[in-house]
Chain A
Amino acid sequence: MATATVPDRGWSRDTVETRVFGVLRVLMILFLLVITVFPFYYMVLLSLRPLDRVLQDPGALVLPPSEVNLDSYASVVAPPSAGGQGFLSFMANSAIVALGTVAVTLLIALPGAYAVSRLQFFGRRQISVLFLAVYLFPSILLAVPLFVFFTQIGLRGSLVGLLIVYVSQIVAVSIYMLRNYFDTVPVSLEEAAAIDGCSRLGILWRVSLPLAMPAIMANALFIFMIAWNEFLFALLFLIEERDRWTVSLGLSQLAGSIEIPTTVLMAGSVIITIPIIVVFFASERLLTEGLTAGAEKG
């Protein structure tokens, strides 16, 4: 009966919908591109313009080449003794904490993920549930006791304390992601190594880890991004120690002060975002596959 009502001109409901949604789809893609990219474009734009030009003409959306000005970058990386904001030292602190977190987390999570994936031991299932719960746990609830605890043992204000907190919060997610990958490594390869006289640790080191290298790399980059971006615990632990501020903390603290020009802080934002964007594009395919590994099962 539906076919009887379809006019020959081609204005059936199907044709109308196909055309309307064809247009809407293009508009939607453009809209999404604008909203995702614009804030980053604006960040770069402001960081390259001199402050007085920004205040005179705040609506400018393109940058004339004659206006390009790198003073903001020079000012934001210069140490405070030279009248700058010292972002280089913030970046060094963040790099130490982030790389340290990556190293320690992988050192702990790799054997753990292997064990959860391969070895039958007492309480394996309960441990998996515990790790999932940790992944979902609100960090604000942990903020209170950890703040008190690290104050009491005198580790608050040190980068080591921050690193320990980061590792403890990331290790569960890391195991979860790595385990999914170990599950895909064929057991027969490990058994072949075992027959050749390889021990458990030898198998892990010589067979499983090399095979899982792509996943390990992706995981390392993922951990790096989390640790580099983290804000709450950096704020709670390090706020009184300017020498140890991480990039996130440094930018947020300086953003509150009136004396520092917005363009300089925009340059700071660009500088702290660049490592993340580099890492992200280096690992994008690995990461998206890792994050959604279980999604197809719905």
Chain B
Amino acid sequence: MTAGAGVQPPGAPPAASARDRGSGRTLARADARAGLALISPTLVIVLVMVVLPILWTVLLAFQRLRLLNLRSAGLFGEFTLNNFDNVFSASSFWSALATTLAYSVLGTASAIGLGLLAALALRRPFRGRGLIRALMLLPYVAPIVAVTFAWTTMLNPQFGVTNHWGTRLLGWDEPIAFLSQRSSEVSILGWTFGVPTALLTVIAFEAWRSFPFAFLFLTARLQAVPATLEEAARVDGATITQRFRHILLPQLLPTVAVLAVLRFIWTFNSFDDIYLLTGGGAGTEVVAVSVFNALTARGDIGGAAAQALVLAAILAVLIGLYLWRLAPREEQS
């Protein structure tokens, strides 16, 4: 009611009297009050359930706290640097960190690459394209537990469909344990080298699972590229690869950059995929899985908090470096 009283119709005569201006200020004040009132439930739940817990993680990381003595522990215990000391001196942490980096860089790159190929392939309209586009999004929206279970069954060495056809059609000597084998020897043209089987498999899963996200954004961006640019280039004799290289790619790069940041952040912290596929075994233990194990299997709350904090700090530094080094260059191009 109070707000309604002071509203001026749009295009009101500029010769507003002092009284009108006064009521306008009241309106602004009423709006400010209403705005704060409407946003406050969200603000409260975000502060209590997200911001405070993060601050508390910092406190927990500096305490020697176990699940067993949790009930008796207060907010401020005895502060110590032990947890960080343990994290940094454990070789398992560094190998988990290296795995996390390899997993997120390769997973992000292959998901965006596959998404780009899909967006380009499905660019021109044809009968049934709408349905195919919708089907492309299935891996991203389906329950993670269901799709990881389908994958583990498909890749199963005893009765999985992949190994059945791989040994018959592709000439594999024996079934490959995709998810439980740390590395295997591959020889191409007489040159033999080891590949991290399980790690590559979870990276392939990550590409499969999240390429639809990149596909969606790149398709939207492709639709916004003006057709006249490409027509002009075609008239000038530019071929498909040239048109892609000099017209589409520069237009897509900013979107690719945003996607790279988003996907990298999510992959870097992702827990579900690897936990459900391998349980962190066979050389696929990423830091998120290691945090979970510290928390539930060992009940080591301080250690889990310290690892999570280090993970977040490294992520923040990497994203900061990326934005600082790469983002300005993209704006210029």
Contact = CB atoms under 8 A, between A and B. Distances in A.
Contacts of B71: 152
Contact of A140 (B141, B142, B147, B291): B291
B308 A144 contact: yes
A296 B221 CA distance: 5
Contact of A168 (B49, B136, B268): B49
A231 B241 contact: no
A69 interface: no
A144 B60 contact: yes
Given A17-B241, A112-B39, A146-B49, A269 B150 contact: yes
A131 B46 contact: yes
B200 to A, nearest CB: 16
A129 interface: no
A280 B137 contact: yes
Contact of B139 (A36, A58, A139, A172): A36
B269 A61 contact: no
A37 B208 CA distance: 11
A119 B42 contact: no
A81 B120 CA distance: 53
B304 A127 contact: no
Contacts of B296: 236
17 contacts: A18-B239, A32-B132, A36-B138, A36-B139, A112-B41, A130-B46, A144-B291, A148-B56, A194-B4, A200-B30, A252-B276, A255-B152, A265-B149, A272-B143, A277-B141, A280-B141, A288-B220
Given A112-B42, A195-B9, A288-B137, 16 more contacts: A39-B154, A58-B159, A111-B41, A122-B32, A131-B42, A138-B315, A147-B295, A151-B67, A171-B45, A202-B4, A266-B149, A272-B146, A276-B143, A295-B217, A295-B221, A296-B224
Interface of A: 2-3, 13-14, 17-18, 21, 25, 28-29, 32-33, 35-37, 39-40, 42-43, 46, 54-55, 58-59, 61, 108-109, 111-112, 114-116, 118-122, 124, 127, 130-131, 134, 136-149, 151-152, 164-165, 167-169, 171-172, 175, 187-188, 191, 194-195, 197-200, 202, 225, 228-229, 231-232, 236, 247-249, 251-252, 255, 262, 265-266, 269-270, 272-273, 276-277, 280-281, 284, 288, 291-292, 295-296, 298
